Amino acid sequence: MARELSQRADIRSEIMEINLGPHHPSTHGVFRAIVELDGEIVLSCTPYLGYLHRGYEKTCENKKYHQVIPLTERCDYMGASSNSLAYCLTVEKMLEVEIPERAQVIRVIMAELSRIFSHLFWLGTHGHDIGAMTPLFYMLREREEIMNLFELTAGGRLMPNYIRIGGVAKDLEEGFIDRLRAFTNHFDTRVDEYETLLTKNIIYMDRTKGIGLLPLEKAISLGVSGPMIRASGKAWDIRKSEPYCGYERYDFDVPVEYGCDVYSRYLVRVAEMRQSNRILKQAIHQLPEGPFIAMAPGKIFPPQQDIYTKMESLIHHFMLVVEGVRLPVGDCYQSIESPRGELGCYIVSDGGTNPYRLKWRAPAFVNLQALPEMSKGCFFADLIAILSSIDIVLAEVDR
């Protein structure tokens, strides 16, 4: 129908080129695209990136291994804990340290909270992009609760900077588990509430069903991962296929949709929030007593309390700060399922105290590459819906 509308013989038309962004509210950052329009129909869309390029990988090459952690969280600030988790897992794999049970469960809690956190904000802004103003206010309410949880135990609200090589920075704050339990108990009913706003909303369905089609074959060839590929009909979740942090001990489903469109991506993300809540409930139940960071002198920072009371711990801490940890020569790739897809970290070590090379496989960067493919032949207004359905974080795209 779209094509017929634009090709009427009695109307003179020529191709128009317009500039979307870099400062457009729908781009959630600074992203620019040159869009060629035939009437209202998008003929082609050429993305221009790099407005937020900060030389992240180069900076990492010049930092010690422990100093990289806060930098990673500034890549994808929406799912901050996932980033530091991916990085720490890679370093731990090279150091071959065993992570204590309690730390594993705390990491899962942080990772799942940041997944809900990210999906909530996505849902709010996605509705906003399409013209539904209300959802954002609902989402921000629960997002605030999660930020309070982060603040309680880690100090930071947006970027907790809580995960460390070998475990987590400190033990959970008193009262954290009670407040987390209260959150998980009411969160499912909150998701029901969100669904009343959009899932059966006829305007929303008209705007999103059949829009931004990405067939599975294309999705795989384009390297798309995360909720986007699950909305194209592939139940691929790294938490299931290559479990890390003990995800194999949790009982959860991988939501799949077969519509390949914006609406399917919405359904997958909403279902994922419910699954994350399910994982959180099990994590509270599983949380064992014990140390929150591995004991590996010379490799991992000792707990703060020990530094004040034990001579050896003080020496190890001093040496780690002054010299840093040395990783064995070699390379390693480790990936996790971040809220946006496969988040991977590839480290090459020359045996020194800095990464010789650190390559960040950012899911938003790869997923964004599918935009021209998905937007061809749709209305310009739909381009905004499609862009929003990718769930990009520009800080991660440009690094």
User: Between residues 21 and 124, which has the closer beta carbon with respect to another protein?
Assistant: 21
In angstroms, give the least distance from the CB of 224 to another protein.
8
Does 4 sit near another protein (CB under 8 A)? no
Nearest alpha-carbon partner for 116 in 90, 139, 84: 139
Q: Which helix (H) or strand (E) holds 237?
A: none
Considering only the stretches 108-116, 313-321, 326-334, 381-389, report the one whose residues sit in contact with another protein under the rule CB under 8 A: 326-334
The size of the chain, in residues, is 399
| 8 Å CB contact between 125 and 198 | no
- Least CB distance from residue 236 to another protein, whole Å? 6
Instruction: Report the residue from 7, 18, 40, 50 that binds another protein according to the rule CB under 8 A.
Output: 50
In angstroms, give the least distance from the CB of 58 to another protein. Answer: 6
> In this structure, what token pair is assigned to residue 292?
């929150």
* Residue 222 binds to another protein (criterion: CB under 8 A): yes
Q: Which stretch binds another protein (CB under 8 A): 23-31, 174-182, 316-324, 340-348?
A: 340-348
Number of residues that bind another protein (CB under 8 A): 38
Pairing of strands 341-349, 357-361: antiparallel
| Interatomic CA distance for residues 208 and 388, integer angstroms | 11
Under the criterion CB under 8 A, does residue 348 sit at the interface with another protein? yes
Would you count residue 315 as binding another protein (CB under 8 A)? no
Interacting span for another protein (CB under 8 A) from 46-54, 100-108, 285-293, 307-315: 46-54
Q: List Cβ neighbours of 320 (8 Å cut-off, separation of 6 or more).
A: 66, 298, 300, 301
Extract long-range pairs of 60-65: CB within 8 Å, 24+ residues apart.
60/354, 60/355, 60/358, 61/354, 61/355, 61/356, 61/357, 61/358, 62/354, 63/354, 64/324, 64/325, 64/353, 64/354, 65/91, 65/165, 65/324, 65/325, 65/327, 65/353, 65/354, 65/355
CA 73, CA 25: separation in Å to the nearest integer?
A: 23
Q: How far apart are CA 39 and CA 28, in angstroms?
A: 26
Contact status, residue 43 vs residue 376, Cβ threshold 8 Å: yes
Residue 248 in contact with another protein, rule: CB under 8 A: no
Pick the piece of the chain touching another protein (CB under 8 A) from 75-83, 160-168, 182-190, 361-369. Answer: 361-369
Residue 58 binds another protein (CB under 8 A)? yes
**CB of residue 57 to another protein, shortest distance in Å:** 6
* 36 is a contact residue toward another protein (CB under 8 A): no
Site string for another protein, 150-179 (x = CB under 8 A): ------------------------------
Name which position in 278, 356, 376, 380 contacts another protein (CB under 8 A). 356
Establish whether the linkage from the previous residue to 22 is cis, with ω within 30° of 0.
yes
Tell me whether residue 42 or residue 397 sits nearer to another protein (CB atom). Answer: 397
CB 283 within 8 Å of CB 108: yes
Query: Closer CB to another protein, residue 176 or residue 346?
Result: 346
Q: Which residues bind another protein (CB under 8 A)?
A: 49-50, 53, 55, 57-58, 62, 93-94, 96, 218, 220-224, 234, 236, 241-242, 330-333, 335, 342, 344, 346, 348, 356-357, 359, 361, 365-366, 369, 398-399
